[in-house]
Amino acid sequence: MSGISEYIDSEVKGNEVVLFMKGTPGFPQCGFSGQVVQILDYLGVDYKGINILTSGELRQGIKDYSNWPTIPQLYVKGEFVGGCDIVREMFQSGELQPFLEEKGISVKGAA
């Protein structure tokens, strides 16, 4: 495992909810990352946002790690959930909040 893969692996396994995104939760730098931030914030989920724009190696590394070509990427309890489309569909269908609660993630907001 390369250094970047080890870093990604430690972040995914060391945080209950982690979002690899363009920008930061306070300042998303793409619409798709922004949508996932809005959903997580609406639900009141505590999560760590990791800005992939800080490093080309990180940007490519997360795609290799998940075998998923797009950003953002959401991980819950070490498990890859998906990108913006999947998170948005889960939220709109009412699946996201129960999924998070089943994983033991505190959901404070109303969905």
Residues in binding site: 30
DSSP notation for 20-54: EESEETTEESSHHHHHHHHHHHHHT---EEEEGGG
What's the rounded Cα separation, in Å, for the pair 100 and 109?
12
Q: Are 29 and 22 in contact (CB under 8 A)?
A: yes
Binding residues for [2Fe-2S] cluster, by number, are 30
Specify whether the CB–CB gap between 32 and 83 falls below 8 A. Answer: yes
